[in-house]
Amino acid sequence: MPDTTTPNLTLYFAPRTRSFAALWLIEELGEPYQLESFDFATGRHKLADYLAMNPMGKVPLVVDGETPVPEIGAMAIYLADRYTSAGLAPASTDTDRAAYLRWVFFAGAIMEPAYAQKLFEWEVSPSTVAWGSFEQMMEVLSAGLAEGPWLLGDKFSAADVTVGNNLVFGQMIGLIPQDGPVGEYLSRLKTREAFQRAEVIEMREGERFPVAAE
């Protein structure tokens, strides 16, 4: 939960964005953190001090002490390795490490463009793009969950957060089914206490910063 003292971790967060992934991740860490929440309408993410930490001017952004960590995949790897007590990442010597890294990157490199292809009806040959196709992405993900309940079998990891967050969004926009291996996996993720705490915070911050009127 967010801390009222001065914790080492600060999360720059905007409701209704990819920020939820970082919020969920930090809740899984169990570390105290400060939540710097804002609405995009304020333009906070385009101010000079913010751009100095994240030149893309996007959210989320985590700052660990004085170290800014943008990009969700980087956050997952950095935070899980730095705060090892949460057990969110296999050690570098663990045989599961390669699979873990693969799934962390799968979320951004494969799932997100596959979603865009499906939504925008891009006509591309699967052989010419790294993500193949939306259908191939779903087949690979379903196969990866065959030994479940998590992507690394019995071991929940930060990779489940990066992939799971994309699935939450995919289900919201009607791309991800409620049933089958992927839908059942997402249902399991939603029962996690850290996920549920993050949902409560997301709802609260959404009420504080409603969508700006057109």
Domains of the chain: 9-87+195-208 (3.40.30.10), 97-192 (1.20.1050.10)
Flag whether pLDDT at 7 surpasses 90.
no
Is a pLDDT exceeding 50 seen at residue 179? yes
Question: What pLDDT score does 41 carry?
Answer: 85
Q: Indicate if the pLDDT at residue 140 is higher than 90.
A: yes
Work out the pLDDT band at 213, boundaries 50, 70, 90. very low
Percent of the chain with pLDDT over 70: 95
Can you read off the two tokens belonging to residue 57?
A: 């001017």
- pLDDT tens-digit readout, 33-60: 999 999 888 899 999 999 999 999 999 9
